[in-house]
Amino acid sequence: MTAEPTPEEAKQLFHVEESDLGKRLDAFLAIQLPQASRVRIQRGIADGLVKVDGQSRKPSYKLRTGQTIEFQLPSPPSEGPQPEPIPLDLLYEDEILAVVNKPPGMIVHPAKGHWSGTLASALVYHFQQLSQFGGPTRPGIVHRLDRDTSGAIVIAKTDEAHAHLAEQFQARTVRKEYLSIVMGCPDRDRDLIDFPIGDHPSQRERKALRSDHFSSREAQTFYEVEERFKGMALLRAFPKTGRTHQIRLHFTHIRCPVLCDKIYGGRSQLTAGELRTWCRNKTAACGSADNTILLSRQALHAHRLCFTHPTSGEELEITAPIPADLESLLLILRQIPTSG
């Protein structure tokens, strides 16, 4: 192997020699760049900063003799997320905690391939003090919401408040209420979905309903039908447990997947033409072209949180208004006759 520095200080070129044949890309770079941590190397690969003969490759890619690897080493990660001037919609704030209305499309904390634009970066920018109870990469974050789920999320400013709030979530005394537009209409106006959830056997980004107690955890979601539409419904969900993807999986289990859930619902967006076909109504979304996008994220919103204030003992009830994209779709659905 030979290395040639480029004009950029952090960029290097590596030539794969015969002794490197068959090595994994990430393992090769870990040997050649002892000053860089494995996490830093993997971050560079995930962010597309590594090119093998000009093309991005996976960490597991096996090298061939004569290939050229170009690596733009990413900046060393700081102890925590970098502050970014991202606007925050504050629903509640006092000296020890806050409740934020998270917009859809925002990741809560930094993760592989997503180092900026997170809620954590916005929090560091806006608040002088945040708890470190969850570690340096999750300042103030007591619980989480999926990237494309909007709504209320609690933020702790002190470690004491964080510990108290975390205990409430652990004890299941926090009352969580979600609103969701689903495809199809449940048979019952209200019901309890009780089915364990575990890891998917082959797909890391998915969870699965599993009855084997060795690899699953109990999961319970109570729901009520708020409104019925032609071919769809608005549901209120009250999760009793807090498993990853719980509401999305449970609604799929009753054959009413969350609308525009690209993982469990089979579609990532809804156009006016698709709505007309699904509802069997040619006048639905009147005035919109068939290719007009009505929704482009999962129709799930963390509408309300009820919990005990860590110091005052007051029962707080914080509500996040229905976001504009879901409200607009609801207005359209309400105009479609449910019969005929």
Contact partners, residue 300, CB within 8 Å, separation at least 6: 146, 148, 149, 150, 178, 179, 180, 247, 248, 258, 261
Structure confidence by residue, pLDDT tens digits, 249-274: 999 999 999 999 999 988 899 999 99
Q: Pick the catalytic residue: 20, 26, 146, 325?
A: 146
89 classed as catalytic: no
The pLDDT of residue 340 is 61
Classified as helix, coil or strand, 226 is strand
Rounded to whole angstroms, the Cα distance separating 162 from 140 reads 7
The CATH code that applies to domain 173-340 is 3.30.2350.10
Q: In the chain, what are the domain boundaries?
A: 2-72, 79-171, 173-340
Q: What are the pLDDT digits (tens) for 44-96?
A: 888 788 999 988 888 888 999 999 999 876 655 555 788 999 999 999 999 99
Mean pLDDT of 100-119: 85
Dump pLDDT digits (tens) for 224-248.
Answer: 999 999 999 999 999 999 999 999 9
- Written as six digits, the tokens of 94 are 């006092």
140-149, 198-207, 304-313, range with the lowest pLDDT: 198-207
CATH superfamily name and code, 79-171: Pseudouridine synthase (3.30.2350.10)
Helix (H) or strand (E) segment spanning residue 17 = none
Q: What whole-number distance in Å separates Cα of residue 88 and Cα of residue 115?
A: 18
Q: How much is the pTM?
A: 0.76
| C-alpha dist (Å) from residue 275 to 55, 230, 251, 278 | 40, 10, 20, 5
Tokens of 153: 């999320």
Q: Are 157 and 95 in contact (CB under 8 A)?
A: yes
pLDDT at 270: 95
Q: Does the pLDDT of residue 155 top 80, yes or no?
A: yes
Residue 243, both tokens: 């498993």
The strand ranges marked E within 41-108 are 50-52, 68-72, 90-93, 97-102
Domain 2-72 and domain 79-171, same fold? Reply is no
When the candidates are 3.40.920.10, 3.10.290.10, 3.90.700.10, 3.30.390.50, the CATH number that belongs to 2-72 is: 3.10.290.10
Give the span between the Cα atoms of 244 and 256, in whole angstroms. 18
